[in-house]
Structure 1
Amino acid sequence: MALDRSVKGREALARTIGQLFSEEEVALSELERALMTDILGKLISDVEKLVRQALSEELAVTKTVPHELILMLANDDIEVARPILMNCDILKDQDLVDIIKSRTHQHQLSIALRNELSSEVSDALVNTGKKDVIKTLLENKNAAISELTLEYLADQSRRIDDFQEPLINREDLPTHLAERMYWWVSAALRDHILKNFPVDIQDVDNKIQSSVHKLVDKDKIKPRLHAPATKLAQKLKQNNLLTIDSLVQSLRQGEVELFESMFCEMSGFRPGGLRKALYETKGEGIAILCLAMGIPKQTFATIFLLSRKGNPRGHTTDPRDLSRAMLIYDKVNRDDAQLITDSWRMDPKYQDAISEIESAASDEKTASGAKAS
């Protein structure tokens, strides 16, 4: 066959040698492999692309093909290289990195689809800066991506929407990055809603935050087990037994943890925010909360004194704090109290994301005005 100089003869020879490489039952010596590699190396540039493509598909899943031959095919036109780039395990990480740097956009996309990718190769794909290549990489569940690179891409997702969904769907995305992205996306959604629809902003904020908190809790590596007090408070709420009287009763019995859980269920506050309002102010926090919830003044005073007595931090209560808190309760109207508590409910991360959106919009407006002038 080697003596046949015609195109058909060369193509037949290439196919035959390719098949010999792929037949596992054929025992070949090192000399035979070397001769076959040498023949194929000389033939590849002379045969039609369709033949090279067929040869590439044949050899891509073969484990015994010499590295130099695979490398030659991997650097060929994309129609020939694609099966090798996507499926061949013989290629080394450095081979892939070199191809990413020196070959075409289509070569990069094919590598991003490989069954396995090391973090080194993933970094090289990210360094191309091409959105579709990076998006394809992120969608590849078998690609190893370092946490540092994921953090960079999460930051980039603020301005590149195409990265958001595949990033969120990655199982290796650290929880803190997922949470950060939830807030960015939510702040952008909020901005869009406010610009296009006549809505109650507080209602929008409450719903967005509730949704994100559920997502964040769901994303924890180990599900957060609710404390018995939280479970009981939730059960009382479900059975319509969560009342102001039961709230005060829990305090009278010294059940501070149950009181806090019941108050969270009634007010919509998360534990951290509630404790801050209860214990880290001089009474104004609990006064505003009780006023917003429609708790009578006398009951508020009881809650204030009993909660301060059961303060887990052990701080003593200044007698003037009650007078100050009662004064606030009397002077602030309920609508204003509800607005204040709504602002307290807002997650700091959500506030930061909103501030970033508003700041970016302001900078863009300033830049447009400067350009126009």
Structure 2
Amino acid sequence: MAVISKLNTLVDLAREKSSDRRRTLLREVTDLFFEETPERDSAVSGRFDDVLSALAEQTAVDAREELSQRFSGTPLAPRGLVLKLAQDAIEVAGPMLSQSSVLSEDDLLSIAEKSGQDHLKAMSKRDAVSERLSDTIVRRGDDETVATLISNDGAQLSRETYETVSERAENSEVLQGPLVKRKDTPNDILADMMLTVRNHLRDHIMERFDSVDPAIIDQAMAVSKARLAARLQQDKAVEEAQKFVRSMAMRKKLDGALLARLLREGDSVKCHVVFAEMTGVDYIAAKRALEQDSIDPLALICKSAGFDKALFVTLAVLRHKNSDDAFRDARELGQLYDKVTADDAARAMRFWRMRRDMAA
């Protein structure tokens, strides 16, 4: 009981109202804990928990930050203190949320449901992040927070979480890099992203696919096809557009002029379906190529389909028809198209065509 006696003596000294004295006392109690570390859930540990928690409430943020840093790495840290610090200001909470093994999964889930982005980001940096916690972070986190999670190899991600992040990545470059570079990102997710990401990331995907067994790629495309079908199943507009395409094909009017007219008139769903039919990619790929800011995917698809430069430039200009610089950029767009080789386009497109063939 010598430790309890010494601890009580220190607590008696806490009657001074000086903030400096309270800070010193907090440090002395902390030193005593590490000198005579009590067993977990013992009476001594409980007494330390009460004293440290009470003193922490009476000290400034920087003192609590120091306290958090000291206790974040020990598995015997008083649980009540850890929970209190983990829900404090981020300067205090950060070390606990990112390192403490005292926090259970349920503790972290509870904090994640009511915390801001800084706290979620700190949890995303833990050596191990469970699937449940990852799901919550992705659901509540902004793109910067989710990118931190995806960049952490110790984070476990469910299939549903991968699909959620990949859909968000369609319009977020912040998410694209971490998702493409993550070692266990599913192959079909990567295939979906090839028409979304910048050239250097697309090259990274193709290099990874070069070392994958073709049978595994076939399986990935089947999964991708099933997910695509599920996404389109309830889209009546797409179904009507597909009927329109069949009608135009029978009348031999499925050509560049029709495509340009639909894009000019703003009939986006029909335009996407026509573009998909003419190029051999699926609807999602066609939609991404015609809507996203990067011009590279559109150039790859058009080159692979054998579109002439004039049609590519027309599509590239019309998709951003409200831009004042669109027509001034036509010459530059033509030069870009000339630089895309047929071999590069074919290599990039073979995965979408494989998925399209499976869907057919």
Q: TM-score, normalised by structure 2?
A: 0.55
Once the two structures are TM-superposed, the CA of residue 27 in structure 1 deviates from its matched residue by 6.3
Of structures 1 and 2, the larger Rg is shown by 1
Partner residue, 1:120: 132
Query: What are the equivalent positions in structure 2 for 1:120-159 lying under 5 Å apart?
Result: 120-159=132-171
For residues 209 and 95 of structure 1, do their structure 2 counterparts lie closer, same or farther at Cα, with a shift above 3 Å needed? Answer: closer
Query: What are the equivalent positions in structure 2 for 1:209-358 lying under 5 Å apart?
Result: 214-220=207-213, 348-349=280-281, 353-354=285-286, 356-358=288-290
Once the two structures are TM-superposed, the CA of residue 22 in structure 1 deviates from its matched residue by 3.5
Query: What are the equivalent positions in structure 2 for 1:149-188 lying under 5 Å apart?
Result: 149-185=161-197
Q: Which residue, out of 2, 6, 9, partners 2:11?
A: 2
CA contact (8 A) 1:183 1:349 kept: no
> What is the identity, as a one-letter code, of the residue corresponding to 1:358?
L
For residues 126 and 216 of structure 1, do their structure 2 counterparts lie closer, same or farther at Cα, with a shift above 3 Å needed? Answer: same
Once the two structures are TM-superposed, the CA of residue 141 in structure 1 deviates from its matched residue by 1.2
CA contact (8 A) 2:194 2:202 kept: no
Once the two structures are TM-superposed, the CA of residue 126 in structure 1 deviates from its matched residue by 0.7
Measure, in 1, the Cα distance between the counterparts of 2:142 and 2:49. Answer: 36
Once the two structures are TM-superposed, the CA of residue 145 in structure 1 deviates from its matched residue by 0.9
Partner residue, 1:74: 86
> What is the identity, as a one-letter code, of the residue corresponding to 1:2?
V
Instruction: Count residues in correspondence.
Output: 229
For residues 176 and 348 of structure 1, do their structure 2 counterparts lie closer, same or farther at Cα, with a shift above 3 Å needed? Answer: farther
Measure, in 1, the Cα distance between the counterparts of 2:64 and 2:130. Answer: 28
Measure, in 1, the Cα distance between the counterparts of 2:36 and 2:90. Answer: 27
Partner residue, 2:67: 55
User: Which whole-Å deviations, capped at 9, do the CAs of 1:134-169 have from their partners, x for residues lacking one?
Assistant: 111111111111111101211221111211110011
Once the two structures are TM-superposed, the CA of residue 210 in structure 1 deviates from its matched residue by 9.6
Measure, in 2, the Cα distance between the counterparts of 1:221 and 1:61. Answer: 46
Partner residue, 1:40: 52
Once the two structures are TM-superposed, the CA of residue 24 in structure 1 deviates from its matched residue by 7.0
CA contact (8 A) 2:134 2:157 kept: yes
Structure 1 residue 108 corresponds to structure 2 residue 120: yes
Partner residue, 1:86: 98
Q: Which range is displaced more, 177-186 or 72-81?
A: 177-186
> What is the identity, as a one-letter code, of the residue corresponding to 2:190?
A
Once the two structures are TM-superposed, the CA of residue 65 in structure 1 deviates from its matched residue by 1.6
Q: Which range is displaced more, 12-21 or 152-161?
A: 12-21
Q: Give the 3-state SS of the residue equivalent to 2:112 in structure 1.
A: helix
> What is the identity, as a one-letter code, of the residue corresponding to 1:7?
S
Structure 2: tracts of 5 or more residues without a match: 1-9, 218-277, 294-314, 324-360
CA root-mean-square deviation: 3.6
Q: Give the 3-state SS of the residue equivalent to 2:154 in structure 1.
A: coil
Q: Give the 3-state SS of the residue equivalent to 1:185 in structure 2.
A: coil
Q: Give the 3-state SS of the residue equivalent to 1:171 in structure 2.
A: coil
Measure, in 2, the Cα distance between the counterparts of 1:8 and 1:210. Answer: 58
